[in-house]
Structure 1
Amino acid sequence: MTRWLSEEEQATWQSYIRMRQRLDAAIAAGLSQDGLSTSDYEVLVALSGAGGQLRAKELGAEICWDKSRLSKHLSRMAARGLVDRCQAADDARGREVRLTEQGRRALETAAPNHVELVRQLFIDDMGPAEAAALRSLSERVVLRAERTDVPGIG
């Protein structure tokens, strides 16, 4: 039997969706001013956080992308000089993705503007207790989503 959302639950869900859509659009617009898409930024941040290199499979898992999407986007990024793809040193079938110097410079250029925008739109209106509550809720939702049998998650 379907457990329909109450009016309050529906209003909460719709409020979250509107927030996410507006925030995603504003972040995308901000990154585009530095010549990056949000997808570019996700890849560059993941690679940077991993010391500049990851196996393609690990990168896809880190950013929750399927193999096809990752491959196509990495091809576009490689054509722009932001990443390199190479044979994994320890596995003839594996591929590694490496952050190039140009990719590192692009990330270093975009990061300060991105962080300032995140701060203005999201962080600055939150007090410490609200931030802790949101972080706790977000972590619980992520764990539940990762344990749920939904393709492309976890």
Structure 2
Amino acid sequence: MTDQSSAPAATGREPRWLDADQQRAWRAFLLGTTLLLDRLDEDLRREHGLSAVEYEILVRLSEAGGTLRMAQLAASLAHSRSRVTHTVKRMEGARLVVREESPADGRGVDCRLTDAGMDLLRTAAPDHVETVRQSLVDLVERDDLMALGRVMDAVCDRLICAHPERELRR
């Protein structure tokens, strides 16, 4: 491994290394995010037989009135179309969603939430939000949570411009 203090950045400029406090905050963010997302996924799988991605698909369909084009669904999840297609196919097997030709132009494929999918979402949502509360919201002061929201909004504002289809904030 090269000495970081002398390694030039890809741009040819010297890297702006993180100081000790910034490094600690960055590492805490990475570890905390990984552990939180793993916990959400584990709880959904154990309690409802759903992965976190499957849960998010149900949520996105519900929020969109029950139907989304597959391309829109993939973009909103920031996943490849092939990954979303594979997940949706599995969810079709469980009768949570159906894929059908888009009535708008006959070329696209829509993903539609079934009654069974909506029922599962209604059942899973209270448990999911309780995990969110226990694992994040209830652990910090309200002002800190609001600060976290502002930080992540700034991150989204910077990164979403390259992928406006991923905008989910309301």
What do the CA deviations read for 1:8-61 (whole angstroms, capped 9, x no partner)? Answer: 211111001111111112111110121111011010000011111111111112
Supply the distance in 2 between the matched residues of 1:67 and 1:29 (Cα, whole angstroms).
24
Residue in 2 that maps onto 1:15:
28
Unaligned runs of 5+ in 2: 1-12
Q: Is 2:124 the counterpart of 1:110?
A: yes
Q: Which runs of structure 2 are paired with 1:130-145 in the superposition (5 Å)? A: 130-145=144-159
Residue in 1 that maps onto 2:8:
none
Supply the distance in 1 between the matched residues of 2:141 and 2:28 (Cα, whole angstroms).
19
Unaligned runs of 5+ in 1: none
Q: CA RMSD in A?
A: 1.8
Out of 48, 61, 81, the position equivalent to 1:47 is 61
Looking at secondary structure, tell me which structure has more strand per residue: 1
TM-score, normalising length: structure 2: 0.83
Structure index of larger Rg: 2
TM-score, normalising length: structure 1: 0.91
Structure showing greater relative contact order (alpha-carbon pairs closer than 8 Å, 6 or more residues apart): 1
Q: Which runs of structure 2 are paired with 1:2-151 in the superposition (5 Å)? A: 2-32=15-45, 33-147=47-161
What do the CA deviations read for 1:61-90 (whole angstroms, capped 9, x no partner)? Answer: 211112111111111111111110001101
Supply the distance in 2 between the matched residues of 1:14 and 1:128 (Cα, whole angstroms).
22
Deviation of 1:125 after TM superposition, in Å, equals: 2.2
Among the aligned pairs, what percent are the same residue?
A: 35
